[in-house]
C-alpha cells in the first residue's frame, strides 16, 4: 500500500510541477503586464482611440501706417472623399450627378472620367482620395450641396481639411517687402523678419476615434486654447505706395527697362513710406515684384556717389565748392584711360573752367577727378578711410533679410589699381544698394544725422500697442554742419541750374542728384542704370527718395535726368499734397509761389545783364542763377546774403566777379 501511495504521489508531482511552473509564469506575466508594461500598453491602447490634434493659431495681420490691410490669413480647404462610406444604393443613385459637379470644380477630369475614377477607387477599397486643393469657404459651401456630398461625412463620404492661406488684399503692391514665411523655412520681407510676433502659439485638442479614419473632438476635454499672433503695423503709407508703384510701372514700360525700384523715406525718422520693386518676368512678359532690388541689388551707383566723394574732400579741407576746376574739352586721360563728360559724345566739348559746385551740378566726371584726385593720389588710403569711417562699407543692418553687401575697395588689396581712386570720384569701382545710397542722401537732408531705414512702426495686440520701434541713429554726424550746408546748396543747384532742371516744380523746391552709370562697361556694351536721389521740400526736408531704373532701352532714353528724375518729381508732388506736414499745406504752397515769383524777377533782371538787389535771399537760391549767367561768385560765410560787392542795378559782363557776404 505504501508503495502504491508513493507511486501515486510521484505521478502527481510529475503532473503538478509543470502545471505550477506554467501558472507561476502566468502570474509573473500578469504582474509584469500590470506593473511594468501596463502604463506603456495602456498608453498604446489609448493612442489607438485618442489623439492630440494641433489647433493652429491665427497668424497676425500686417497693416500699413494708415490702417490699410496688407496681409492677412484666410481659411482655404482641401477636399477629399471616402468612396467606401456611402451605402451601395446611395452611391449608385448619385455617383453620376456627383461626377458632373466634380468636373466643374476640377476640370482635370471629365464627368465620365470622374465617375470611372470614383467607381474604381471604391472597388479597390480606398478610403481617402483627393478631390481639389485650396478652395475658398464659399466654394466649400457649394461643394457641400453636391449630390451624395450633401449627406455629409459618414453617409456621403465628404472630407475636408482647413488650412490658412496668406493673402495680400492690395495684390502684388509691395509684395517683396511684405514678404513670406513658408513652412519649408524660406523667409523674406516683413513676414519673415517679424514672424515671431506674427506666429502666435498653437493650441491642443483631444480627439476620439469613432471608426476607421474618422475622429471627433472630445467635448468634455479641457483643450489648450491657441494664442493668436500679434499684428504688425508697417511704416508704409498706402497712397504713397500706390503712387510709387504706378509711376515705376509706367516708366519701366515706357523705356522698356529690365527692372527698377523706388523708395520714399521720412527724413527725421527713417520710416520707409513707400517702396516699389518691379522686374520684367521672362515667363509672363509682365512686370512684377520679382525681387526686392532696393534692398538686395548692389551696383556701381555712378554720379549719385559724387556727393560722398565731394563731402570727403571738403571735410579734409582740400577743396571747396567755389574752387575753380578746369574740365578742358571734357576728356581727361589718366593711366592710359579716358575720363569723359557726357556732353563730349554730342560734340559739345567740355565745360571749361568752372567752380566745383558748377561741375557737380552739370555732373562733370572730369571736374570731379581734377578737383579730388590730385589731393589723394599719393595717399589714397586717406580718402578711403573717410568712407569707411562714414560706414559706407557696411550693410545697414536691416531687420528684413537679403540686404546686399556694399563694396568700397582699399589700396593694397586685390583689385585695386591706379584707376581705382579716380574712378571712385564719379561712382565707379564701388557698389551700393539703392537703400544704402538713399540713407546717405537722407543724412544730408537730416543735417548730418544718419538713421537706419525702418519698415515697421509698432506691434499691436487686439488693437493695443505692445511694442513700438523708435528711430535708430547709425551716425549722429556724417560731417560738419558747414559741409552739410554746402552739400545741400549743390543738390538744390542740380535742379535749379543743372542736369535736372526739367523736374523743377511750381509747388515745392526739390534737391537731388542725377546718376547715369554704364553697366559692364569693360564689355563695351550698351547697358545703363539711370538713377536720381534727393529730398523735398529742399528748404525744409520732410522726405528723401531714390529712383533706380536698370537697363532701359538706350534707343529710347537712359540718362538719370530723363528716365529716373521724373518719377522723383511726380512722387514728391503727390506725397507733398497727400500727407500733412508740420506746416499748413496751403500756406506752404503760397510761400513757395512767392519765392518763385521773386526768383523769376531776379532771373528777368539777369537776362538784361543787370545785377538785382540780392540781400535777404538764400545763397543756395542765388548763386546758381548768377553762375548760369556767366558770373564768377565768391561766397563768404553762411546763410542769406547780407551784402554784395556790386551795387544793385550794375550792368555786369560774363566772367565778372561778385562777392556775396552771408550772415
Convert the pLDDT of each residue in 215-248 to its tens digit: 655 655 556 777 889 999 999 988 899 999 999 9
Residue 594 DSSP code = H
**Rounded Cα–Cα distance for residues 547 and 490 (Å):** 19
Q: Angle 403-409-410 (CA atoms, 0-180°, nearest 5)? A: 135
| pLDDT at site 100 | 96
Q: Residue 392's closest CA among 457, 479, 321?
A: 479
Task: Specify the CATH class of 56-234 in words.
Answer: alpha beta
**Who has greater pLDDT, 192 or 312?**
312
Least confident interval from 239-253, 398-412, 571-585: 571-585
pLDDT at 595 over 50: yes
The answer as to CATH 3.30.10.20 being correct for domain 586-662 is: yes
What distance, in Å, lies between the first and last C-alpha atoms of the chain?
145
Which uninterrupted H or E stretch holds 213?
none
pLDDT class for 54, splitting at 50, 70, 90?
confident
Convert the pLDDT of each residue in 7-16 to its tens digit: 666 666 666 6
pLDDT at 140 over 60: yes
**Who has greater pLDDT, 38 or 496?**
496
Model confidence pTM above 0.75: no
Convert the pLDDT of each residue in 84-103 to its tens digit: 999 999 999 999 999 999 99
Q: Are 441 and 465 in contact (CB under 8 A)?
A: no
| pLDDT at site 376 | 97
**Who has greater pLDDT, 441 or 164?**
441
- To the nearest whole percent, how much of the chain has pLDDT over 90? 58
Which uninterrupted H or E stretch holds 467?
strand 464-468
pLDDT at 657 over 70: yes
Question: Average per-residue pLDDT in the chain?
Answer: 86
From the candidate CATH numbers 3.40.710.10, 1.20.1440.230, 1.10.3080.10, 3.90.1150.10, the one assigned to the domain spanning 240-581:
3.40.710.10
* Range ranked top by mean pLDDT from 233-242, 356-365, 581-590, 637-646: 356-365
As given in the structure block, the three cell numbers for residue 227 are 494664442
**Domain ranges in the chain?**
2-49, 56-234, 240-581, 586-662
Q: Angle 269-438-389 (CA atoms, 0-180°, nearest 5)? A: 90
pLDDT at 108 over 60: yes
Residue carrying the nine cell digits 471627433? 216
Distances (CA, A) of 59 to 163, 180, 228, 399: 12, 12, 6, 19
pLDDT at 590 over 50: no
| pLDDT at site 596 | 44
pLDDT class for 525, splitting at 50, 70, 90?
confident
Amino acid at each position: 500500500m505504501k508503495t502504491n501511495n508513493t507511486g501515486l504521489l510521484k505521478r502527481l508531482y510529475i503532473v503538478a510541477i509543470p502545471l505550477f511552473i506554467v501558472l507561476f509564469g502566468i502570474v509573473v506575466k500578469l504582474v509584469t503586464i500590470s506593473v511594468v508594461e501596463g502604463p506603456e500598453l495602456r498608453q498604446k491602447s489609448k493612442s489607438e482611440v485618442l489623439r492630440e490634434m494641433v489647433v493652429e493659431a491665427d497668424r497676425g495681420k500686417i497693416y500699413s501706417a494708415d490702417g490699410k490691410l496688407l496681409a492677412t490669413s484666410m481659411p482655404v480647404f482641401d477636399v477629399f472623399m471616402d468612396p467606401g462610406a456611402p451605402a451601395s444604393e446611395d452611391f449608385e443613385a448619385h455617383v453620376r450627378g456627383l461626377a458632373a459637379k466634380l468636373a466643374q470644380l476640377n476640370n482635370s477630369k471629365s464627368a465620365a472620367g470622374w465617375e470611372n475614377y470614383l467607381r474604381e477607387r471604391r472597388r479597390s477599397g480606398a478610403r481617402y482620395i483627393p478631390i481639389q486643393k485650396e478652395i475658398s469657404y464659399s466654394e466649400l459651401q457649394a461643394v457641400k450641396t453636391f449630390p451624395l456630398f450633401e449627406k455629409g461625412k459618414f453617409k456621403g463620404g465628404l472630407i475636408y481639411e482647413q488650412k490658412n492661406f496668406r493673402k495680400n488684399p492690395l495684390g502684388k503692391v509691395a509684395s517683396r517687402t511684405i514678404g513670406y514665411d513658408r513652412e519649408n523655412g524660406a523667409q523674406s520681407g516683413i513676414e519673415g523678419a517679424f514672424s515671431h510676433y506674427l506666429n502666435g502659439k498653437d493650441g491642443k485638442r483631444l480627439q476620439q476615434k469613432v471608426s476607421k479614419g474618422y475622429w471627433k473632438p472630445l467635448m468634455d476635454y479641457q483643450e489648450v486654447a491657441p494664442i493668436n499672433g500679434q499684428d504688425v503695423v508697417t511704416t508704409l503709407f498706402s497712397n504713397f505706395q500706390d503712387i510709387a508703384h504706378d509711376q515705376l510701372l509706367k516708366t519701366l514700360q515706357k523705356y522698356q527697362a529690365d527692372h527698377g525700384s523706388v523708395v520714399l523715406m521720412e527724413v527725421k525718422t527713417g520710416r520707409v513710406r513707400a517702396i516699389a520693386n518691379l522686374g520684367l518676368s521672362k515667363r509672363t512678359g509682365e512686370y512684377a515684384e520679382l525681387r526686392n532690388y532696393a534692398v538686395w541689388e548692389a551696383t556701381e551707383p555712378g554720379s549719385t556717389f559724387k556727393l560722398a566723394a565731394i563731402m570727403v574732400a571738403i571735410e579734409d579741407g582740400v577743396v571747396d565748392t567755389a574752387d575753380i576746376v578746369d574740365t578742358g574739352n571734357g576728356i581727361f586721360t589718366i593711366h592710359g584711360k579716358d575720363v569723359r563728360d557726357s556732353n563730349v559724345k554730342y560734340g559739345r566739348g567740355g565745360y571749361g573752367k568752372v567752380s566745383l559746385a558748377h561741375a557737380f551740378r552739370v555732373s562733370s566726371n572730369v571736374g570731379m577727378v581734377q578737383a579730388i584726385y590730385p589731393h589723394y593720389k599719393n595717399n589714397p588710403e586717406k580718402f578711403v578711410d573717410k568712407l569707411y569711417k562714414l560706414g559706407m562699407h557696411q550693410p545697414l543692418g536691416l531687420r528684413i533679410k537679403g540686404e546686399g553687401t556694399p563694396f568700397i575697395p582699399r589700396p593694397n588689396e586685390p583689385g585695386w589699381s591706379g584707376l581705382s581712386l579716380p574712378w571712385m570720384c564719379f561712382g565707379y569701382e564701388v557698389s551700393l544698394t539703392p537703400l544704402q545710397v538713399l540713407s546717405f542722401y537722407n543724412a544730408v537732408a537730416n543735417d548730418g544725422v544718419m538713421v537706419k531705414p525702418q519698415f515697421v512702426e509698432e506691434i499691436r495686440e487686439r488693437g493695443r500697442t505692445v511694442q513700438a520701434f523708435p528711430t535708430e541713429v547709425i551716425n549722429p554726424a556724417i560731417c560738419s554742419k558747414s559741409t552739410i550746408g554746402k552739400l545741400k546748396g549743390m543738390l538744390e543747384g542740380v535742379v535749379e541750374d543743372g542736369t535736372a532742371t526739367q523736374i523743377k516744380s511750381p509747388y515745392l523746391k526739390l534737391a537731388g542728384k542725377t546718376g547715369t552709370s554704364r553697366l559692364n562697361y569693360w564689355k563695351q556694351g550698351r547697358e545703363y542704370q539711370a538713377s536720381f536721389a534727393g529730398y523735398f521740400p529742399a528748404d525744409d526736408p520732410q522726405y528723401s527718395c531714390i529712383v533706380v531704373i536698370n537697363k532701359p532701352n538706350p534707343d529710347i532714353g537712359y540718362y538719370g535726368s530723363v528716365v529716373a528724375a521724373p518719377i522723383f518729381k511726380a512722387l514728391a508732388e503727390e506725397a507733398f499734397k497727400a500727407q500733412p506736414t508740420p506746416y499748413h499745406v496751403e500756406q506752404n504752397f503760397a510761400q513757395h509761389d512767392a519765392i518763385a515769383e521773386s526768383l523769376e524777377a531776379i532771373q528777368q533782371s539777369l537776362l538784361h545783364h543787370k545785377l538785382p538787389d540780392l540781400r535777404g535771399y538764400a545763397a543756395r537760391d542765388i548763386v546758381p542763377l548768377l553762375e548760369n549767367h556767366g558770373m564768377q561768385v565768391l561766397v563768404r560765410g553762411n546763410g542769406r546774403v547780407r551784402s554784395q560787392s556790386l551795387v544793385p542795378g550794375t550792368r555786369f559782363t560774363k566772367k565778372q566777379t561778385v562777392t556775396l557776404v552771408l550772415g
